[in-house]
């Protein structure tokens, strides 16, 4: 990864473009700092076309998120602080 040495030298954290990359697919050590930031983004437009409330699951992402859960556990075992966030579709 081209920017990895620069991130490491300056304490920057590597970020994954969620939806395009699964942590299982990564072929290098993504740890570049003592912390990492993960943000899961849903397809808000598609979800809002299916529902106007956020009181139930519209798209079940359990299988996709299980690899991220494993990734977070591995990061914590290495002493890396994990900041993880998800987007929430707005209610109408």
Q: Is residue 83 part of a domain?
A: yes
Identify the band that residue 77 occupies on the pLDDT scale cut at 50, 70 and 90.
very high
Q: Which tokens in the block code for residue 6? A: 């620069």
User: What's the number of domains the chain is made of?
Assistant: 1
Q: Is residue 55 part of a domain?
A: yes
In sequence order, what are the beta bridge partners of 40?
A: 86
In sequence order, what are the beta bridge partners of 81?
A: 35
- pLDDT for res 2: 58
What region does 79 belong to: left with phi over 0, alpha with psi -120 to 50, or beta? left
pLDDT beyond 50 at 63: yes
Looking at per-residue pLDDT, the higher value among 26 and 85 belongs to: 85
Find the radius of gyration of the CA atoms of the chain. Answer: 16
Q: Which tokens in the block code for residue 45? A: 């437009």
Span 66-88, mean pLDDT?
87
Q: Which domain holds residue 44?
A: 34-92
> In terms of Cα–Cα distance, which of 89, 90, 27 is closest to 61?
89
pLDDT beyond 90 at 64: no
The model's pTM is: 0.67
Span 18-35, mean pLDDT?
76
Q: Is residue 17 part of a domain?
A: no
């Amino acid at each position: 990864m081209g920017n990895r040495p620069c991130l490491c030298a300056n304490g920057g954290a590597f970020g994954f473009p969620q939806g395009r990359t699964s942590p299982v697919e990564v072929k290098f050590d993504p740890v570049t700092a003592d912390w990492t930031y993960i943000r899961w983004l849903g397809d808000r437009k598609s979800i809002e076309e299916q529902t106007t409330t956020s009181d139930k699951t519209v798209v079940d992402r359990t299988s996709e998120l299980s690899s991220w859960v494993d990734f977070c556990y591995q990061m914590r075992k290495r002493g890396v602080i994990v900041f993880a966030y998800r987007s929430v579709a707005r209610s109408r």
